[in-house]
């Protein structure tokens, strides 16, 4: 009886050690990746994803590279940037940037930031945190010739929870929610 308990304990310890080893193994894999968002006369807009060996936090950035100049357009401050969409939302001839980020953790919450170009720089004009499992797109679904921002998400405030879509319009520098 005692021997059997001992061997069970030994197997459990072995399992725990194996699990711990594989977790720490995946944590030590450092990440560095750069991909182009767009290339235009203002330079190369690049998404840079970084994760250091000793941390699960991501230090992702959007950069504008022009010759030897590097402008940091946006820094994720621990969040993972999932996608960057570049479109002219308010038809003023300058493109806006929508950044979609994953907060990490078990809640599957997403965070979004909208950046507007002003005097050669980008400023964040809107940030939203309350979307569960959200996914953004910029389209003209109603066909009025003007792009809108759509965020599909899970509404957990109703029971049973259901999939919904939030619709936004950018006007006079303000992003307003239509629906
Ligand atoms: Ca614009
Ligand atoms: Ca539209």
Owning domain of residue 10: 2-177
pLDDT for residue 120: 83
Ligand nearest to the CA of 138: 2
Ligand nearest to the CA of 142: 2
- Cα(145) to centroid of ligand 2, in Å? 6
pLDDT for residue 14: 53
pLDDT for residue 106: 73
Q: How many domains, the chain?
A: 1
- Cα(91) to centroid of ligand 1, in Å? 5
- Cα(103) to centroid of ligand 1, in Å? 27
Mean pLDDT by 10 residues, the chain (179 residues): 60 54 56 96 96 90 96 96 97 95 84 93 92 92 95 93 96 93
- Cα(132) to centroid of ligand 2, in Å? 24
Which tokens go with 15? 């399992």
- Cα(50) to centroid of ligand 1, in Å? 29
Task: Give the C-alpha distances (Å, rounded to integers) separating 112 from 3, 18, 134, 147.
Answer: 57, 37, 9, 17
pLDDT for residue 108: 81
pLDDT for residue 56: 85
């Amino acid at each position: 009886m005692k021997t059997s308990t001992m061997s069970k304990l030994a197997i459990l310890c072995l399992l725990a050690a194996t699990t711990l080893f594989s977790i720490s193994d995946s944590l030590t894999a450092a990440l560095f990746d750069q991909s182009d968002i767009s290339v235009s006369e203002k330079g190369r807009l690049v998404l840079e994803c970084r994760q250091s060996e000793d941390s699960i936090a991501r230090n992702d950035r959007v950069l504008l590279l022009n010759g030897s100049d590097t402008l940091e357009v946006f820094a994720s401050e621990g969040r993972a940037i999932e996608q960057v969409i570049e479109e002219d939302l308010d038809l003023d001839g300058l493109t806006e940037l929508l950044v979609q980020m994953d907060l990490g953790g078990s809640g599957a919450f997403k965070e979004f930031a909208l950046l507007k170009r002003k005097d050669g720089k980008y400023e964040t004009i809107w940030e939203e945190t309350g979307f569960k499992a959200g996914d953004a797109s910029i389209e003209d679904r109603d066909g009025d010739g003007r792009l809108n921002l759509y965020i599909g998400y899970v509404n957990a405030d109703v029971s049973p929870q259901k999939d919904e879509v939030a619709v936004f319009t950018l006007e006079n520098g303000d992003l307003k929610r239509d629906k």
